[in-house]
Chains A and B, each alone.
Chain A
Amino acid sequence: MITRKRLAAGVCGLLATLAVGLFPSGAAADAADAEPSSGPAPKVDLVLDVSGSMRTRDIDGQSRMAAAKQAFNEVLDAVPEEVRLGIRTLGANYPGEDRKLGCKDTRQLYPVGPLDRTEAKTAVGTLAPTGWTPIGPALLGAAEDLEGGDGTRRIVLITDGEDTCAPLDPCEVARDIAAKGIHLVIDTLGLVPDAKTRRQLTCIAEATGGTYTSVRHTDELSGRVSQLVDRAADPVVTPVATEGAAQCTDAPQLRPGLYTDREEFGEHRWYRVDVPPGRELRASVSIAADRAVDDDYGVLLRAVTVHGREIVRGAEAGNGRTDVISTGLRYPKPPLDDEDDDGTGEPAAETVCLEVSSSFSAPDAVKKTPGLPVELAIDLVEGPDEASDVAAFGLGRGWWPLAVLALAGLLTGLLWGWISRWRVAVWRTH
Chain B
Amino acid sequence: MRVFTRMAALSLAAAALLTTAAPALADDAEPAAGPTEAGTSFRTATTVEQGRPATAQGSTGDYLYWSFPADAGQRPVIEAEVTLPEAASRHGAATWRLDAYDGLRRHQPCKYGMPSRTAAQDASSVKLTCTLRTVRSWADTWSNEPLPGTYYIRLTVARLPEEDLGQPVTARIEATSAERGGAYAVDGVLGAPLVPGAGTEGDDAAAPEGGWSSGWWTDRWIWTAAGGLVAALAGVWGHRLTRARGRPPQAPTRA
Contacts and interface: CB of A to CB of B under 8 A. Distances in A.
Contacts of B223: 4, 395-398, 401-402
Contacts of A198: 162-163, 165-166
Given A13-B11, A402-B230, A417 B243 contact: yes
A284 interface: yes
A320 B219 contact: no
B216 A390 contact: yes
B156 A24 contact: no
Contacts of B53: none
Nearest to A185: B40
Contacts of A320: 158-159
B88 to A, nearest CB: 11
Contacts of A15: 210, 217
Interface stretch (A71-79, A140-148, A169-177, A327-335): A327-335
A373 to B, nearest CB: 11
Contacts of A405: 227-228, 230-231
Given A212-B61, A386-B188, A397-B183, A327 B22 contact: no
A413 B198 contact: no
B123 interface: no
Contact of B187 (A9, A384, A393, A420): A393
A390 to B, nearest CB: 4
Interface in A401-430: 401-402, 404-418, 420-421, 425, 428
A4 B238 CA distance: 26
A212 B165 contact: yes
Interface in B131-177: 137-138, 141-142, 156-159, 162-163, 165-168
Counting chain A CB atoms within 10 Å of each CB, which of B44, B58, B156, B157 scores highest? B44
B166 A27 contact: no
Interface string B1-17: 10011011001101100
Interface string A320-358: 110110111111100000000000000000000000000
Contacts of B205: 30, 34
Nearest to B22: A24
A19 interface: yes
Nearest to B15: A16
B221 A395 contact: yes
B235 A410 contact: yes
A27 B235 contact: no
A101 interface: no
Given A256-B199, A391-B188, A406-B230, A321 B41 contact: no
A413 B14 contact: no
Given A234-B44, A391-B215, A395-B220, A17 B18 contact: yes
Contacts of B221: 395
B40 to A, nearest CB: 6
Contacts, number: 324
A89 interface: no
Nearest to B36: A227
Interface in A184-228: 190, 193, 195, 198-199, 201-202, 209, 211-214, 216, 220, 223-224, 227
Interface string A15-50: 111011101101110110010000000000000000
Nearest to B14: A17
A258 B43 contact: yes
A13 B220 contact: no
A405 B226 CA distance: 9
Interface string A344-386: 0000000000000000000000000000000101011111111
B191 A328 contact: no
A261 to B, nearest CB: 15
Contact of B235 (A20, A237, A256, A412): A412
A180 interface: no
Contact of B238 (A193, A224, A412, A421): A412
Given A12-B217, A398-B223, A409 B234 contact: yes
Contacts of A407: 234
A257 B200 contact: yes
Contacts of A166: none
A213 B1 CA distance: 62
A381 B198 contact: yes
A231 interface: yes
A223 B57 contact: yes
Contact of A406 (B197, B215, B231): B231
Contacts of B104: 282-284, 314, 327-330
A326 B101 CA distance: 9
Contacts of A416: 235, 238-239, 242
B178 interface: no
A240 interface: no
The 4 A-B pairs of least Cβ separation, nearest first, read A383-B191, A413-B238, A417-B242, A328-B104
Interface of B: 1, 4-5, 7-8, 11-12, 14-15, 18-19, 21-23, 25-27, 37, 40-44, 57-59, 61-63, 89, 101-107, 137-138, 141-142, 156-159, 162-163, 165-168, 181-183, 185-192, 194, 196-200, 204-205, 210-211, 215-224, 226-228, 230-243, 248, 251
25 contacts: A3-B1, A4-B222, A9-B8, A13-B15, A16-B210, A19-B211, A198-B166, A202-B165, A211-B40, A213-B168, A214-B59, A214-B166, A256-B199, A284-B42, A321-B157, A321-B159, A382-B192, A392-B187, A395-B221, A395-B223, A397-B218, A406-B227, A406-B233, A406-B234, A409-B234
Interface of A: 3-4, 6-17, 19-21, 23-24, 26-28, 30-31, 34, 190, 193, 195, 198-199, 201-202, 209, 211-214, 216, 220, 223-224, 227, 230-231, 234, 236-237, 239, 256-258, 279-280, 282-286, 312, 314, 316, 318, 320-321, 323-324, 326-332, 375, 377, 379-398, 401-402, 404-418, 420-421, 425, 428
